[in-house]
Structure 1
């Protein structure tokens, strides 16, 4: 649960190709219509490239800069050449209502868990703070067995998922 003035944090977790990014995109669009400010944090299991080779900021990084920042009339970014924990990244999220976190499965924040099929059930036993289970087409038959323990939604039930989020967000703000 968030402390006053801290953003509410909701993790979107699941195995690769379970629909996490698609869900995050859908939630962002829906929550922005409620005049909420939304931040996102994504965990990437691979070494990602954010800066385009040949640009000035890429040249700064290539030369060995530990931190590189860029700003224009409409956006800003800071790139650190080191790993950061989710908690460290969240300290950078200021003046926003909520942060949607894609990944970081073992962090201890409320979670929506996406399941692709029955093989993904093992994920549920390794997580904390599960607030909803979202079932992909290959997992929809699991709803009767999961419903007694979890709030369960079909992955494409955008209205139901948004209502669940709003209920959690409202409770956290009390």
Structure 2
């Protein structure tokens, strides 16, 4: 299975970009799944549901299955490789976050102040910039020259999808 990551600081457009890429990749016949890392905690369950009652009663793991859908909730964080292994029947896994993991990735930059992120990650295959950054050509050109990877703006989803499919 092909794994591709999207890394960037909060509000850099990761979720929006992934959501825009999904239909384009699916049109190519790709069966894909998405894993999102949330460093702040989340809750997918709703008060009043049976699974909520089980968790409130102390169950550390709950699964629910119906025709066409399955969900699992655990009170522990699984590492990325374990999560990926759970989806091996898909063609592609898009991963939002987990910036320190060694999978091919795009780095999304909101502005030049985010460029320090480029030194924190490896396996960068492209950079997605806020279109306003193109008004600062010396900085953007320096980044592109240093890393020798393609540069995209947020709305170039067809080019980004082509890059992902080419890897």
**TM class, shorter-chain normalised?**
over 0.9
CA contact (8 A) 1:27 1:162 kept: yes
Over the residues paired in the alignment, what is the CA RMSD in angstroms? 1.1
Determine the structure 2 residue equivalent to 1:93: 87
Cα distance in 2 for residues equivalent to 1:82 and 1:138: 40
Q: Helix, strand or coil: the match of 2:82?
A: helix
Q: Helix, strand or coil: the match of 2:44?
A: coil
Determine the structure 1 residue equivalent to 2:30: 36
Quick one: which of 76, 79, 90 aligns to 1:82?
Answer: 76
What pairs with 1:67-146 in structure 2 (closer than 5 Å)? 67-140=61-134, 141=136, 142-146=139-143
Determine the structure 2 residue equivalent to 1:4: none
TM-superposition CA deviations, 1:49-93 (whole Å, max 9, x none): 111111100111111112111011221111111011111111111
CA contact (8 A) 2:24 2:158 kept: no
Q: Helix, strand or coil: the match of 2:132?
A: helix
Determine the structure 2 residue equivalent to 1:158: 157
Q: TM-score, normalised by structure 1?
A: 0.89
Determine the structure 2 residue equivalent to 1:18: 12
Cα distance in 2 for residues equivalent to 1:137 and 1:63: 50
**CA offset at residue 143 of structure 1?**
3.3
Cα distance in 1 for residues equivalent to 2:68 and 2:149: 41
Q: Helix, strand or coil: the match of 1:147?
A: helix
Q: Which moved more, 1:138-147 or 1:26-35?
A: 138-147
Determine the structure 2 residue equivalent to 1:171: none
Unaligned runs of 5+ in 2: none
Q: TM-score, normalised by structure 2?
A: 0.93
